[in-house]
A and B are shown apart, each in its own frame.
Chain A
C-alpha cells in the first residue's frame, strides 16, 4: 500500500475548507502594506542622510553655516551694531542642533594687494580668519608665524566664479583657472602711512564653505595687535557647525534673533516638513494596510480552523497534541507571510538602487542598499506579524478542544 505522509493527511483534514481568495487577499494587503512601510522608512532615512550631510553631500547637507547679524536700516548707522558679544556667541552655541561655534575675525588694519607682474592690478581688500577646525580643507603650508614673509591665502570659490563668469568677460580680461591663481604671488601691504609691512601672499586653496578671503588666524591676530591695538576685537560673523540645518527649531532661533545665514541651506527645512508629511502619510497608510492584511490573515486562519473543527477535535482525540497541530498550521502559513515580506524587501532594495542611481546625476550620493532602519522596520513588522498569527492559531486551537 502506498505510504501516506502524516502532514499530507493532516493537511487534508484541516485545510480542505480553506478559502484561497481570502488568503491571497490578505497576502496582497500584507505585501502592499509592508512595501509602503519600507518606502516610508526609506524616504525618511534617505532624506535625513542628505540633510544631515553624511555621505559627502556638502552642497546640501553642509553642516557649516556662516551666521551674521542682519544689516537693517536701523543698524546701518551704528558702529559695532552687527558685532557679536560673547553672551550672544554663547547663546548661538546653545541653540538647537548647534555642535560648535567659531568666530570669523576680520582685519582691523588696511590691506592693499597688488600683482607685480600685471601693472595696475591693485586693490584694497579685507582678510578674515577662522579656527582651523572649521575649514573644509587645510592646504599644505597653511601656517604663519611672525617673521614669515609668505602669507598663505584661501579664497572662496565663489569669488573666483564671480571673476571668471562675471567680471572677466565684461572687462575683456582672461579667465583664470585655480592652478593659475595658485601660481601667482600677490604683494600684500598692511598698515598705514609709514607703519607698513610687506608680505607675499599666495593662494594655496579654495573653499566652498566660507565666503571670504582667509589667512591663518595667527596673521590676523599679529596684524590687529600691531596696527590696531586699541580696537576691540569682536567678530561680525560666526561660523557654526550644525548637525541638521533643516531643523525648524534652528531656523526659528535664527529668525528670532534676526540673524542671517546662507539661506540656501535653510530652505531645506521647508522641504523637510514636506518630506516628513509624505513619509508619515505613507507610513500611516502602510500601517493601516498592514493592519487590514493581518486582520484578514488572522480571520482566514480562524475561519479555516473553525471549518475544520470536527476533524480537529477528532485528531486531538486520536492523540495529536495541540502543539503539533499549531506548529503544523504555523509551518503552513508563516512561510507565506515571509514570502510577502521578502517580496517587499526586494522592492525596497530595487527602489533604493534606482534612487541612488538617479541622485548621482544631481550630485548626491546615497547608499545602494537600504540601511539599518529599513531592515529594522522589516524585522519589527515580521516579529509583530508572527506574534499575532501564532497567538491567533494557538487561541483558536484551544477553543476547539
Chain B
C-alpha cells in the first residue's frame, strides 16, 4: 500500500511552517510499500501532529493524505476502523494503554480484534521484551518503560502494511531498545510492511530508505 502525502499543512501551524524549510509539510511525497522512513522532527515542528494526521485522528489540515486508495479526509468511520485494524499499526508517544486492564488484557483487546497472531507468539514477544512477568499487573501500575514495551508488543498483534511510530523508544534503555528494534524488524519483515518512525534526533535504529526533516 502506497502512502501519498500531497502538500499537507496543519491549519494551526500554517504561518509558522512557511518560515522554515520543511521537507514534509507542504511537499508532495510518495512512499512505496515496504519503505523504511525516518522523519526527524525537532521539538515544536509538529511530529505528533503528523502522526495523528496519518492515523486519521485529526483532520485540521490542508492538502491530502492517501493510504492506497483511501483518502484520509473522506474516509468514513467503518473504513477507518478497517484500515486501523488490518493495515496500519501505530505506536504512540503516550502509549495509550487501558489503565484498568492488565498487561495481558491490553494485548488481548488488540489480538482478539483480528485473531491473526497466535497467543503463543504474543507470549513469546512479551518474553523477548522482558515484560512477561508483568502479564497480570494492571497497566496503570507499570513503569513508563514497561508501558512502552507493552505498546510495542500490542502494535505487533495485528496484520499491518505500515507501522507508524512516534518516539517509540523514548523510555527504553539501550538493551531494551535493541530488543524492541529486533522484534519490530522481525514482525515487519513477516508482514512485508513499511516503517515510518518519527523522532526528535537522528538515529539508525532501522536501515532507513529515506530520512526527511520535518
Contact = CB atoms under 8 A, between A and B. Distances in A.
- Specify whether A and B are partners: yes
Interface of A: 1, 3-6, 9-10, 12-13, 16, 311, 314-324, 401
B119 A401 contact: no
Interface in B128-183: 135, 158
Interface of B: 55, 57, 77-78, 81-86, 96, 98, 100-101, 104-105, 108-110, 112-114, 119, 123, 135, 158
A318 B77 contact: no
Contact of A318 (B57, B78, B109, B135): B109
Nearest to B86: A319
A6 B112 contact: yes
| Most interface-central of B55, B84, B114 (chain A CB within 10 A) | B84
Given A6-B112, A319-B86, A13 B101 contact: yes
16 contacts: A1-B104, A9-B101, A9-B105, A13-B100, A13-B109, A311-B98, A315-B109, A317-B57, A317-B96, A318-B84, A319-B85, A319-B113, A321-B78, A321-B82, A321-B85, A322-B81
Nearest to A7: B112
Contact of B105 (A12, A318, A319, A324): A12
A321 B135 CA distance: 27
A322 B98 contact: no
Contacts of A320: 81, 85, 113
A16 B84 CA distance: 25
Nearest to A2: B104
B176 to A, nearest CB: 22
A314 B96 CA distance: 7
A16 B101 CA distance: 11
Nearest to A316: B81
A5 B57 CA distance: 28
A130 to B, nearest CB: 73
Contacts of B77: 316, 321-322, 401
B100 A1 contact: no
Contacts of B158: 319
Nearest to A12: B101
A9 B108 contact: yes
A321 B123 contact: no
Q: Classify the interface of chain B: helix, strand, loop or mixed.
A: helix
B80 to A, nearest CB: 8
Nearest to A398: B77
A318 B154 CA distance: 10
A155 to B, nearest CB: 80
Nearest to A3: B119
Contacts of B98: 13, 311, 314
A1 B135 contact: yes
A10 B101 CA distance: 11
A12 B138 CA distance: 13
Q: Classify the interface of chain A: helix, strand, loop or mixed.
A: helix
Contacts of A4: 104-105, 108, 112
A210 B83 CA distance: 82
Contacts of B84: 317-319
Nearest to B112: A6
Contacts of A3: 119
Contact of A6 (B85, B96, B113): B113
A318 B100 contact: no
B134 to A, nearest CB: 13
B210 to A, nearest CB: 27
A399 to B, nearest CB: 12
Given A4-B105, A13-B101, A318 B112 contact: no
| Most interface-central of A10, A12, A16, A319 (chain B CB within 10 A) | A319
A9 B100 CA distance: 11
| Most interface-central of A318, A322, A324 (chain B CB within 10 A) | A318
A196 B114 CA distance: 106
A319 B113 CA distance: 8
Contacts of A13: 98, 100-101, 109
Given A321-B78, A322-B81, 19 more contacts: A1-B119, A1-B135, A3-B119, A9-B105, A9-B108, A9-B109, A12-B100, A12-B105, A13-B98, A315-B109, A316-B77, A317-B84, A319-B81, A319-B83, A319-B86, A319-B114, A323-B78, A324-B81, A401-B77
Contacts of B81: 316, 319-322, 324
A5 B115 CA distance: 11
B5 to A, nearest CB: 21
A9 B98 CA distance: 11
Contacts of A16: 100
A69 B83 CA distance: 85
| Most interface-central of B105, B113, B135, B158 (chain A CB within 10 A) | B113
B95 to A, nearest CB: 11
Of all A-B residue pairs in the complex, the 3 with the closest CB atoms, nearest first, are A319-B85, A319-B84, A321-B81
B158 to A, nearest CB: 7
A125 to B, nearest CB: 89
A325 to B, nearest CB: 9
B128 to A, nearest CB: 15
B167 to A, nearest CB: 17
A315 B82 CA distance: 13
B137 to A, nearest CB: 14
Contacts of A1: 104, 119, 123, 135
Contacts of A322: 77-78, 81
A320 B113 CA distance: 7
Nearest to B83: A319
